[in-house]
Chain A
Amino acid sequence: MVERIQPGDAVHPGHPVTVNRYGPTTRANHWVTAVSLILLAISGLALFTPSLYFLTTLFGGGQSTRILHPWFGVVLFISFFVLFAQLWRANLPARVDIVYLSRIKDVLAGHEENLPELGKYNAGQKGVFWGMAFLILVLIVSGVVIWDQYFGEATAIPTKRVALLVHSIAAVLIICVFILHVYAAIWTRGTLRAMTRGTVTGGWAWRHHRKWLRDLVGQRKIGPAE
């Protein structure tokens, strides 16, 4: 099964080889998503537990935290679903994902020689992608239900109670996914530049996403040398 190559992905021969992974708009949008998720987590945690209420000072106090939090959510929702539209195809499940997950010990230990050759995303990355997509949907829907300033009359109190519980559980989960995502990007050295410069080295692609690299090379997505 050959994955459709994502538009913009290309290999540049050189020493080292560089591979285009994310274009400028995707990167810019990713950072909008990232910043809004961080702001949401901080402002949300401030209202989640009294021990973190002091975080409201970062947003100018409790009232302004209450005003800003849902708007951050709207920004996150829009920017994430632009990312979603760009990346969902490459995140569709593949048979190789099962093999990858069955060897999760090798993943955690960094023994990638024991893993199958992977396309643009491994099963963990796909999990983060679909987890984020699902949780952001749950959060925006439950969030609108409890956004009383504009939607206070739209639902009854028992519905809002359920929404509060669902919203807080989904928020906890998305923060966990976020920690996993950030940590994995740091632990796997050479990853962050994909979201800063937009490129990775050929060695990084060879090590972590060899099938993706082979597909790019095989389908002659080769740009000028750098």
Chain B
Amino acid sequence: MSGSIVNAGPRTAVSNPPVQDMPSYFGEQDLVRRSATPDLPPPARQLTPVAKLIDVSKCIGCKACQSACVEWNDTTPAIGENVGVYTNPHDLTENMFTLMRFTEWVNPDTDNLEWLIRKDGCMHCADPGCLKACPAPGAIVQYTNGIVDFIHENCIGCGYCVKGCPFNIPRISKADHRSYKCTLCSDRVAVGQGPACAKACPTQAIVFGTKEDMKRHAAGRIEDLKSRGFAHAGLYDPPGVGGTHVMYVLHHADKPHIYADLPDDPRISPIVQTWKGLTKYVGLAAMGFMAVGSVIHGVFARPNRVSSEDEENAEKLVGTVAPQPPSQPEERG
């Protein structure tokens, strides 16, 4: 590379990073969505969408991606306990943003045991349920290149993102009560590098680049898998969430659920949609109606006052009963 470096975003995770200082190629001006911010100004430019492609058929389960993730993000997952499975730790945590999930699956067509290994983590949905559910302005953002990122200083730790996510990804830290997940290494991508996991993957089962390139690369892989007898090989880029910026090549793309419960047709739960949509508008209208109705009634209906007649009637009623000792009860009225 000669002359000044133009940082237009990374094309791949494989090449070595430039050694010169580099300005970040995207930032706050490139937000397409910002949680709890309905009046976000539209971004002036559209960045080239990026994507990470995980080819499940090439994964050897070495967990280099997990190590690289821990290393880059400087997290310290607790030392685990072996319960007889390779999946370690047993679930995503606030210190483990990506996790190899191992599944032993017997293929009913061939009666072969297949060892399915899926690298779980944030899918960077085009329509992110976490962002939709988040009540804190700016705690979750989405850039025009497709990266969905958590801005921890704005996070209030409510856990709404956990309920909004169709993939069960975000985790709330018990230490600082903020939500954590894979950032797609937004800090690396911003300076022209690919995600740490992709960089570390020894078989290039994880690759990174523009979404276009990744789809093209996936098409070649799928063709290859089909020629090897995986008739249902395909790309996992689920349309229910508008597509994702982390995609899988699956050898059994007709049944994603066999890969450690990868959702077949993920979408933001209709319950979450109703909560964040209809309930909010109808609810605010109902409360407003009650408040305004009260004010109108208060202005137009005369106050309901006790008259002096009422007081006299009460005095008469009490007076008909003998003053002090309750010795001579009288009929009322």
**A interface residue numbers (CB < 8 A to B):** 11, 13, 15-17, 46-50, 53, 56, 61-63, 65-66, 108-110, 112, 146, 148-149, 152, 157-158, 160-162, 164-165, 168-169, 171-173, 175-176, 179-180, 183, 186-190, 201-207, 213-214, 217-218, 220, 222, 224-225
- Asked if A164 contacts B283 (CB within 8 A), the reply is no
Task: Pick from B159, B301, B308: contact of A108, CB below 8 A.
Answer: B301
- CB neighbours of B332 from chain A (8 A): 214, 217-218
Q: How far is the CA of A63 from the CA of B36 in the complex (A)?
A: 15
Whether A164 and B160, one on each chain, are in contact in the complex, defined by CB atoms closer than 8 angstroms, is yes
> Does A186 lie within 8 Å of B298, measured CB to CB?
yes
Q: A50-B137, A179-B291 are in contact. Are A222 and B318 (CB under 8 A)?
A: yes
Range for the number of chain B residues in contact with chain A: 35 or more
Comparing B64-72, B111-119, B270-278, the segment that makes contact with chain A is B270-278
Contact present for A190 and B306 (CB under 8 Å): yes
Please list the residues of chain B having a beta carbon within 8 angstroms of any beta carbon in chain A: 36-38, 135-137, 154-160, 162-163, 168, 172, 177, 269, 271-272, 274-275, 279-280, 282-284, 286-287, 290-291, 294, 297-298, 301-315, 317-321, 323-324, 326, 329, 332-333
New A-B pairs, 8, CB < 8 Å, besides A169-B283, A218-B329: A48-B283, A49-B280, A62-B156, A161-B271, A176-B290, A188-B304, A207-B310, A213-B317
Is the contact region of chain A dominated by helix, strand, or loop, or is it mixed? helix
Q: Are A17 and B315 in contact (CB under 8 A)?
A: yes
Residues of B within 8 A of A202 (CB): 310-311, 314-315, 317-318
Residue contact A146 to B275, C-beta cutoff 8 Å: no
- List chain B residues, Cβ under 8 A from A168: 275, 279-280, 283
Sample of 28 A–B contacts (CB below 8 Å): A13-B323, A48-B283, A49-B284, A53-B137, A146-B159, A148-B159, A157-B168, A161-B163, A164-B163, A164-B271, A172-B282, A173-B286, A175-B290, A176-B286, A179-B291, A180-B294, A183-B297, A187-B303, A203-B307, A203-B309, A204-B306, A206-B306, A206-B311, A206-B317, A207-B306, A214-B332, A217-B317, A224-B324
| CB-CB under 8 A for A157 and B162, given A47-B135, A220-B326, A222-B321 | yes
Contact B314 A206 (CB under 8 A): yes
Contact A53–B306 (Cβ < 8 Å) = no
A65 to B155, CA, bound (A): 12
CA distance A172 to B285 in the complex (A): 10
The distance in angstroms between the C-alpha atoms of A125 and B303, with both chains bound, is 18
Query: B318 and A148: CB pair below 8 A?
Result: no
Please state if B287 and A183 are interface contacts (CB–CB under 8 Å): no
Q: How far is the CA of A94 from the CA of B316 in the complex (A)?
A: 27
Q: Can you list the 10 inter-chain pairs with the closest CB atoms, starting with the nearest?
A: A202-B314, A62-B156, A203-B311, A203-B310, A172-B283, A50-B36, A220-B326, A183-B294, A206-B314, A203-B306
Minimum CB distance partner of B289 in chain A? A176
Collect the chain B residues with CB atoms within 8 Å of residue A61's CB. Answer: 156
**With A217-B321, A217-B332: A172-B136 Cβ-Cβ less than 8 Å:** no
Partner of B297, one of A50, A108, A157, A205: A108
CB proximity of B314 to chain A, nearest CB, Å: 3
Q: How far is the CA of A183 from the CA of B172 in the complex (A)?
A: 41
- Is the pair A205, B326 in contact by a Cβ cutoff of 8 Å? no
The reply to whether B157 and A63 form a contact with Cβ atoms under 8 Å apart is yes
Asked if B287 contacts A161 (CB within 8 A), the reply is no
Instruction: Indicate whether A203 sits within 8 Å of B314 (C-beta atoms), given known contacts A164-B163, A165-B271, A175-B287.
Output: yes
B301 adjacent to A203 (CB under 8 Å)? no
Determine the distance from Cα of A44 to Cα of B321 in the docked complex, in whole angstroms. Answer: 52
Given the complex of chains A and B, what is the CA–CA distance between A53 and B303 in angstroms?
35
Rounded to whole Å, the gap between the CB of B312 and the closest CB of chain A is 8
Cβ of B82 to closest chain A Cβ, rounded Å:
22
A63 touching B318 by the CB < 8 A rule? Answer: no
When distances are taken between beta carbons in the complex, the residues of chain B under 8 Å from A190 are: 305-306
A172-B286, A201-B306, A207-B306 given as contacts; is B315 within 8 A of A16 (CB)?
A: yes
What is the CB-to-nearest-CB distance from B233 to chain A, in angstroms, rounded to a whole number?
A: 30
- Tell me whether A17 and B283 are in contact (CB under 8 A): no
Query: Is the CB–CB distance between B159 and A110 below 8 Å?
Result: no
A161 lies within 8 A of B307 (CB): no
**B306, A50: Cβ atoms closer than 8 Å:** no
A205–B311 alpha-carbon span in the complex (Å): 9
With the chains together, A53 CA to B160 CA distance in Å? 15
Nearest Cβ on chain B to A106's Cβ, whole angstroms: 11
* Closest B residue to A107 using CB positions: B304
A15's partner among B159, B275, B310, B315 (CB-CB below 8 A) is B315
Task: Give the CA-CA distance A48 to B314 in the complex, in Å.
Answer: 48
A209 to chain B, nearest CB (A): 11
